Amino acid sequence: MSAPAVDVRALVHAYADGTPALRGVDLRIDAGEAVAIVGANGAGKSTLLKHLNGLLLAGSGSVYIDGIALTRASLADVRRRVGYVFQDADDQLFMPTVQDDVAFGPMNLGLAADEAQARVAAALQAVGAAHLALRAPYRLSGGEKRAVAIAGVLAMAPSILVLDEPSTGLDPAGRRRLIELLGRLPQTRIVATHDLGLVLQSCPRALVLHEGRVVADGTPARLFADAELLRRCQLEPPYEGLKPGPGPSAN
Amino acid sequence: MSRLAAALQDLRALDALALRDTALARRDPRAKLAVTLCFIVTVLSFGRYQVAALLPLALFPTVLSAQAQVPGRVLRRTLWLASPFALMVGLANPWFDRTPMLALGGLELSAGWVSFGSIVLRVTLTVSATVVLLGSTGMHALCVGLSHLGVPRVFTAQLLFLQRYLHVLAEEALRMSTAHRLRAAPGRRLALSVYASLMGQLLLRAFDRADRVHQAMLARGFDGELRVADRWRWTGADTRFVGLWCGYFALVRAVDLPLALGRLITGAGA
């Protein structure tokens, strides 16, 4: 039996000032799954995601990616496997043109220029942003920036894609395109958000994080029908007319 | 538009210019770097009282700014920013060096004024050439060119980071300035205590933002070495570009062209 894509065991994290962010998170995600991590602000979603890519290292507990224990020694390997899309795309886009920015990851993987450019073209094509290749990132709309940020991560060909609040700042059309894109991607997808509508339409499984602990795990439809759970975790149920989407492709 | 917004716009204007497909943008960054370096050395090699002999060198930034389609506004603003430096360096000259040197009509010019004019002209020429180089190449390509010319990668990476953080700082400063302006009493100057607080906040916010940018770089495999895609190949056109301009600089340095032209027109010295 193959190792799970993500295996988090008793993960604890406290910030430098002593504020606890994660208080013993256990989590297992299989390859190809699309999983949402929902929770109010300060629930620990971003902190948990940063542990999956090694941006934060466990104070106590452990994180395994594709069976590899995340340590300083395995950081490069883990970052090759886990692509992280930041909440604010402006933090991620820093090169002078879109194509240079998308090439940043592949170049760091040590790929030859030709292969890196092929990856750039394929990633931009995948997110529908091929026409933006020569544009300066600061001239893009919010939705375009998000798409390019995702392309920058896809170009590294990760097996796991981690997205932090991907629908923030998107207009309805941009949000729709994001949901469609999430549905098309073959990678294991982990989406941290408090946009429960997005979860309902793009993830067959959701985890509710509250005060640094996973307090519920199940299908979005079941979790979001639990009014007491949502109230306790300071979440709002999605619009009642919203139906679960066809769901992303599960591999 | 606030001065901060104008500064940010200027920062971005040079980047945006470099993205355009112009005759000069297609030249290899190494060729442009080599020619600009040669130009600056030539300008600096002239004597302190040589003004007229420098004038033919103005052809270089003039032709290149036209080729690169650098707007005059960007050039003027950059020269305006550099002008205090030129004034600081040269303004003492007329005071200390009062030896009569030139008579223009009824006006007698001292050697100090001539050397001051020479300094202003040199700053104008070198700053214009540098702006044209940046506007036709961009910092990113420029750093690629510098790396190929043997400049250590640690230095070129610092240059790229410096440029990126200038943007971060300017964006944060602009946000804070707008937020302050919207709530400040109209017409009142910024109190020193508020100014100090804003500066402290700006530093902290820019630091936080820089930290997030760094995290985003780490997440995409950054390990301290900045690897950038190199799309340029040296061509025959680059060789001709370097050869022609360096030849012209050598000619200007060897022959006082304005003097030669004056003699040709007036027949003097024949």
A125/B191: higher pLDDT: A125
Structure tokens belonging to residue A65: 């990616």
Burial of residue A225 (number of CB atoms within 10 Å: 0-12, 13-18, 19+): exposed
Burial of residue A38 (number of CB atoms within 10 Å: 0-12, 13-18, 19+): buried
Q: What is the C-alpha radius of gyration for chain A, rounded to an integer number of angstroms? A: 18
Instruction: Say if residues A99 and A111 touch (Cβ distance below 8 Å).
Output: no
Looking up tokens 């300066």 gives A136
Choosing among A57, A77, A88, A92, which should be mutated to test the B contact, i.e. which has the most B CBs within 10 A? A92
- DSSP, collapsed to helix, strand or coil, labels residue A209 as strand
Q: What is the pLDDT of residues B134-151, one digit of tens each?
A: 888 888 888 888 888 888
Above 90 in pLDDT, residue B163? no
Shortest CA distance to A178 belongs to which of A169, B215, B244? A169
Of B167, B221, B222, the CB nearest to A80: B221
Give the Cα separation of B196 and B202 in Å (integer): 10
- Range with the poorest average pLDDT among A36-50, A136-150, B107-121, B154-168: B154-168
Q: What is the pLDDT of residues B52-81, one digit of tens each?
A: 899 999 999 999 998 888 888 888 888 888
Domain that holds residue B125: 3-151+233-266
Residues of chain B with Cβ-Cβ distance to A135 below 8 Å are: 19
B101/B235: higher pLDDT: B235
The model's confidence at residue B83, banded by pLDDT at 50, 70 and 90, is: confident
pLDDT for position A35: 96
Q: Is B42 within the bounds of a domain? A: yes
Of B164, B167, B230, the CB nearest to A113: B230
Per-residue pLDDT of chain A (251 residues; tens, 9 = 90+): 688 999 999 999 998 888 899 999 999 999 999 999 999 988 999 999 999 999 998 879 999 999 999 999 999 899 999 999 998 888 888 888 899 899 999 999 989 888 999 999 999 998 889 999 988 888 888 889 999 999 999 999 999 999 999 988 788 888 888 888 888 889 999 999 988 888 998 999 999 999 999 999 999 999 998 999 999 998 888 766 666 665 554 44
CB count in 10 Å sphere of residue A226: 15
Looking up tokens 């301009």 gives B245
Q: Is B66 within the bounds of a domain? A: yes
Mean pLDDT, residues B226-252 taken together? 89
Of B12, B230, B231, the CB nearest to A138: B12
Is the ipTM, as predicted for this complex, more than 0.95? Answer: no
pLDDT for position B71: 84
Cα A115–chain centre separation: 25
DSSP string, B159-213: HHHHHHHHHHHHHHHHHHHHHHHHHSPTTPPPPHHHHHHHHHHHHHHHHHHHHHH
Q: Is B168 within the bounds of a domain? A: no
Mean pLDDT, residues B149-173 taken together? 83
Instruction: Say if residues A205 and A178 touch (Cβ distance below 8 Å).
Output: no
Q: Do B16 and A104 touch (CB under 8 A)?
A: no
Give the Cα separation of B153 and B146 in Å (integer): 9
Q: Is B173 within the bounds of a domain? A: no
Mean pLDDT, residues B203-220 taken together? 88
Of A53, A91, A108, the CB nearest to B212: A91
- DSSP, collapsed to helix, strand or coil, labels residue B81 as helix
- Range with the poorest average pLDDT among A32-41, B115-124, B153-162: B153-162
CB count in 10 Å sphere of residue B267: 7
Residues of chain A with Cβ-Cβ distance to B229 below 8 Å are: 99-100, 103, 107, 113, 116-117
Residue type, A97: T
What is the number of domains present in chain B?
Answer: 1
Q: Do A107 and B229 touch (CB under 8 A)?
A: yes
Residue-range domains of chain A with CATH: 6-232 (3.40.50.300)
pLDDT for position B193: 86
CA A232, A234, A235: angle at the middle one, nearest 5? 110
B164/B270: higher pLDDT: B164
Q: Do B219 and A55 touch (CB under 8 A)?
A: yes
Distance from CA of B232 to the nearest CA of A (A): 11
With both helix axes pointing from N to C terminus, report the angle between A142-154 and A172-184 in degrees, rounded to the nearest 10: 20
pLDDT for position B149: 85
Q: Is B23 within the bounds of a domain? A: yes
Q: Is B158 within the bounds of a domain? A: no
DSSP string, A34-57: EEEEE--TTSSHHHHHHHHTTSS-
Q: Do B209 and A91 touch (CB under 8 A)?
A: yes
- CA distances B240 to A62, B27, B67, B120, Å, are 61, 11, 16, 31
Above 60 in pLDDT, residue B40? yes
Shortest CA distance to B42 belongs to which of B28, B56, B31, B29? B56
